[in-house]
Amino acid sequence: MVGIRIRELRSDRGMTLTGLARSTGLSAGLISQVERGLTDPSLETLRRIARVLDVPLFSLFRDAEPDSDAVVVRRDRRMQVSSPHGGISYQRLSPGSGKLELLEGTLEPGAASSAKPWSHPSEECVTVLSGQLLVEIGSARHDLETGDSCYFDSRSPHRYVNPTERRTVFLVAITPPSF
């Protein structure tokens, strides 16, 4: 379904496949395969596409519109995005239709949330549920232990790193959603 959503967003913006490819730095063939559901895009590919389409990453996945004032997201119905290399995965705990996005992240030993720090127009607060997390924001490095949290402006290039030999699990709240 992510491919269909990307095609819809691209078309809504009057953007050609070639134009999206040029703007993202990805090949037109790869984007075509994603749109047709022939390949599963990597987290980095989705980030590039979402940035160019000017939407939060998780909005590339279809969301049911809430039909009441409360939305329950069941554990077995969470939207998940993983790195093809297996180092990082995110599950969306919020419904994806509000002004706040809540994600549960899992970083494998030695893994990072991205190859290099990146930015997006939001604010974030990350809390470590288990393990240790290194939060890199610009040139600053913040070492977090279980129970620690870090709040920052996501417009500063940032990433999360697991510097240990055991899995790290964390929650991250993002507002407005732009991940």
Asked if the structure places residue 68 within a domain, the reply is: no
Range of the domain at 80: 75-175
If asked whether residues 48 and 79 sit together in one domain, one would say no
Buried b (16+ CB within 10 A) or exposed e, 89-119: bbbbbbbbeeeebbbbbbbbeebbbbeebee
What are 57-86's pLDDT values in tens digits?
777 876 545 556 777 878 888 778 877 667
Based on the fold, state whether residues 160 and 89 are members of the same structural domain. Answer: yes
Residue 66 falls inside a structural domain: no
Residue 136 maps to a domain? yes
70 lies in some domain:
no
pTM, whole model, 2 decimals?
0.72
Token pair recorded at residue 1: 């379904």
Q: Packing angle between helix 17-24 and helix 43-53, nearest 10 degrees?
A: 110
Claim to verify: residue 95 and residue 153 sit in the same structural domain: yes
Q: Are 87 and 171 in a shared domain? A: yes
Q: Which two tokens stand for residue 19?
A: 């134009």
Give pLDDT, residue 162.
Answer: 97
Residue 103 inside a domain? The answer is yes
Does the structure show a pLDDT above 80 at 148? yes
Number of domains in the chain: 2
CATH number at residue 142: 2.60.120.10
Query: What whole-number percentage of the chain has pLDDT above 70?
Result: 93
Q: Are residues 37 and 104 in the same domain?
A: no
